[in-house]
Amino acid sequence: MVDSPKAVGIDLGTTYSAVAYIDEANRPQTLVNGEGDLITPSAVFFDGQDIIVGKEAIKAIASHAPHVADCSKRDLGQKRYHKTIEGREYPPEAIQGFVLSKLKQDAERLIGDFQKVVITVPAYFDEVKRKATQDSGYMAGLDVLDIINEPTAAAIAYGYHQGILNPEKKASESQRILVYDLGGGTFDVTVMEIRDQEFITLATDGDVLLGGRDWDQRIVNFVAEHFLAEHNIDPRNDPCAEGRLWRDAEDAKRTLSAREKVSIVCDYQGNASRVELTRDQFEEMTGDLMDRTEFTTRQTLQASGLGWGEIDLILTVGGSTRMPMVEAMLTKLSGKKPDRSLSADEAVAHGAAIRAQTILQESRGEPPPLRIKNVNSHSLGIVATDQKTSRHRNAILIPRNTSLPATARRTFKSQREGQKSVLINIIEGESDSPENCTRLGQCEVRDLPDNLAIHTPIEVRFRYLQNGRLTISVNVEGKEKQHEITRENSLSLTQLDGWRDYIHGFDTGA
Ligand code: AMP
């Protein structure tokens, strides 16, 4: 057991999660869960009075599908995606909170109690989803020291293996790397530069609704259509039969990464179909998904201002990069073979663990062995009214891919004598139309000084922190005050505390 203050790194994935810490020899190590596995399925089974997280929850989909919540990471920050199980509504943050609670309890059996963690998020996560992730950590009784982007974490793990983080090693040439991260539910591509011990993100883009699950879905539909044609009934109409089909589809997909063909058997209501699927067929039926990642990869490279000739290395992370079509596409696109030396399942958690350790070192006054420079993945804007057309539009204050921390100021003028408040609607996104952007919330400046003269400047300062979170301060007549954002899609502090107590009451460990 390690007894110095502990901080661990958590890769909280859509389909699988992993936990790592830094051992006595200063090496990142994955902590196996209570079942002895390196990764834990991010699924929760509500079994009457018990709450079961991980492998058993995935198995329960075959018999109790309506009682299992999985892939909640995709729903973070969206109010309408609360899951109702046995009459109780669970926000996605709480489901992720149960997953984190299991990861914490299992890891504590190996390294003793801890609270401090660094959690990773897709680089393309917006501010609302980042806050929701921090809230999940809070609900699980964790102290979230930082949230860092998954590709950055992977690059840190790469840097560690290259000896870049070793202070005795002479500063090496800077390296430019493209991280292609295709996980279970999200896709990210990030262009980074590693210079000395600094990890600088140059550009990032992605899709929070694209991942291995979408490849699985194509196999599910392929088999179900076949079954329907043969027996005139659709197994997708029964949640448990559909759950079994998803499980077998994922299994078949993994087989196709190693073999040229696979057979999938679908059993439903006393009928059975055996369907054969070749790798070529699979690649054809998912070609459009691959094209989407290719398009984003091209765009991100362009946004970084670099050409393929200036990229030293392509790093692939995320379980779905084991599909041979990923390597083939990247090699064709760039003329370079991607580097697959990092463990696709563990690299992100290892990078997070290294980051967690550096935060502890910094708090002890030691020089940090690495520095991170991030960019924002979505433009920050406010809803403005077009003077000519009176239509609402997105007035962008901090464009995407701006180096963080970043600040923007906007001065409003009071419109009448004695005005008491100003309301600002804050959004994230690239579209000119606010309806197509993510509503982050409102900043209602209510406590303006009494008897404020008309046309008094009210300066609002928006500041993105390094972790992609937003803070707001307001300056009126020389007095600056931090300002709360009223969020539409977040839980209140009282709700968070309620969930924290509720989750704490369950033994979710193995
Ligand atoms: P991650 O979020 O990085 O843990 O990635 C999980 C995703 O990787 C899931 O969709 C898995 O089905 C997928 N995956 C894991 N191993 C393989 C494999 N050998 N071939 C294809 N996909 C895989």
| Domain interval for residue 422 | 380-465+469-490
> Which pLDDT does position 2 carry in this prediction?
44
Do 135 and 20 share a structural domain?
Answer: yes
> What average pLDDT is seen over the chain?
92
CA of 13, closest atom in ligand 1: 2
Average pLDDT over residues 474-485: 86
> Which pLDDT does position 197 carry in this prediction?
86
> What percentage of residues in the chain have a pLDDT greater than 90?
74
- The Å distance, Cα 26 to ligand 1 centre, comes to 28
- Answer whether 286 contacts ligand 1 (Cβ < 6 A): no
What are the structure tokens assigned to 88, written together?
Answer: 């109780």
Higher pLDDT, 349 or 387: 349
> Which pLDDT does position 50 carry in this prediction?
92
Average pLDDT over residues 48-75: 93
> What percentage of residues in the chain have a pLDDT greater than 70?
97
Going by CA atoms, what residue is nearest to atom 7 of ligand 1?
184
Do 481 and 395 share a structural domain?
Answer: yes
Going by CA atoms, what residue is nearest to atom 19 of ligand 1?
254
- The Å distance, Cα 458 to ligand 1 centre, comes to 50
Whether 83 and 95 have beta carbons less than 8 Å apart is answered as yes
Task: State which of 285, 309, 332 marks the end of a domain.
Answer: 285
Whether 238 and 217 have beta carbons less than 8 Å apart is answered as no
**To test ligand 1's pocket by mutation, which of 33, 37, 42, 254 has the most ligand atoms within 8 angstroms of CB?**
254
Residue 435, in any domain of the structure: yes
Do 151 and 89 share a structural domain?
Answer: yes
Do 475 and 428 share a structural domain?
Answer: yes
> Predicted confidence band at 368 (pLDDT cuts at 50, 70, 90)?
confident
> Predicted confidence band at 446 (pLDDT cuts at 50, 70, 90)?
confident
* Length in residues, the chain: 510
Task: State which of 252, 285, 318 marks the end of a domain.
Answer: 285
Residue 229, in any domain of the structure: yes
Do 399 and 368 share a structural domain?
Answer: no
> Which pLDDT does position 170 carry in this prediction?
61
What CA–CA distances, in Å, run from 146 to 70, 137, 315, 372, 420?
24, 11, 23, 12, 36
Task: State which of 250, 268, 285 marks the end of a domain.
Answer: 285
What are the structure tokens assigned to 372, written together?
Answer: 């991170």
User: CA quadruple 123, 125, 129, 130: dihedral positive or negative?
Assistant: positive
Do 269 and 166 share a structural domain?
Answer: no
How many C-beta neighbours within 10 Å does residue 184 have?
24
Domain harbouring 246, CATH code? 3.90.640.10
* 23 pLDDT higher than 60: yes
Residue 41, in any domain of the structure: yes
Angle CA(119)–CA(120)–CA(124) in degrees, nearest 5?
140
Do 398 and 351 share a structural domain?
Answer: no
- The Å distance, Cα 344 to ligand 1 centre, comes to 9
How many C-beta neighbours within 10 Å does residue 214 have?
18
Residue 94, in any domain of the structure: yes
pLDDT tens-digit profile of 194-244? 988 899 999 999 998 899 999 999 999 999 999 999 999 999 999 999 999
**To test ligand 1's pocket by mutation, which of 253, 277, 286, 289 has the most ligand atoms within 8 angstroms of CB?**
253
Q: What is the largest CA-CA distance in the chain?
A: 79
Domain harbouring 386, CATH code? 2.60.34.10
> Which pLDDT does position 106 carry in this prediction?
97
Alpha helices in 39-182, H assignment, sequence order: 55-64, 92-111, 127-139, 150-161
* 380 pLDDT higher than 50: yes
| 238 HSE (CA, 13 A, CB side) | 15
| Residue 36 phi, psi dihedral angles, 5° rounding | 90, 10
Domain harbouring 31, CATH code? 3.30.420.40
> How far apart, in whole angstroms, are the C-alpha atoms of residue 100 and residue 184?
17
- The Å distance, Cα 320 to ligand 1 centre, comes to 4
Residue 293, in any domain of the structure: no
* 363 pLDDT higher than 50: yes
- The Å distance, Cα 183 to ligand 1 centre, comes to 6
> Predicted confidence band at 1 (pLDDT cuts at 50, 70, 90)?
very low
* 157 pLDDT higher than 90: yes
Do 265 and 121 share a structural domain?
Answer: no
Residue 308, in any domain of the structure: no
Going by CA atoms, what residue is nearest to atom 16 of ligand 1?
319
Residue 187, in any domain of the structure: no
Do 19 and 144 share a structural domain?
Answer: yes
Do 22 and 166 share a structural domain?
Answer: yes
pLDDT tens-digit profile of 344-362? 899 999 999 999 999 999 9
Residue 274, in any domain of the structure: yes
Do 221 and 86 share a structural domain?
Answer: no
> How far apart, in whole angstroms, are the C-alpha atoms of residue 372 and residue 481?
28
- Number of compact structural domains in the chain: 3
- Answer whether 197 contacts ligand 1 (Cβ < 6 A): no
- Answer whether 183 contacts ligand 1 (Cβ < 6 A): yes
> Which pLDDT does position 386 carry in this prediction?
79
What are the structure tokens assigned to 194, written together?
Answer: 């590693």
- Answer whether 434 contacts ligand 1 (Cβ < 6 A): no
Going by CA atoms, what residue is nearest to atom 6 of ligand 1?
184
Q: String of b and e for 354-387 (b: at least 16 CB within 10 Å)?
A: bbbbbebeeeeeeeebbebbbbbbbbbbbbbeee
pLDDT tens-digit profile of 253-309? 999 999 999 999 999 999 999 999 999 999 999 999 999 999 999 999 999 999 999
Do 444 and 384 share a structural domain?
Answer: yes
Most confident of 68-77, 86-95, 283-292, 388-397: 283-292
Average pLDDT over residues 450-474: 90
- Answer whether 212 contacts ligand 1 (Cβ < 6 A): yes
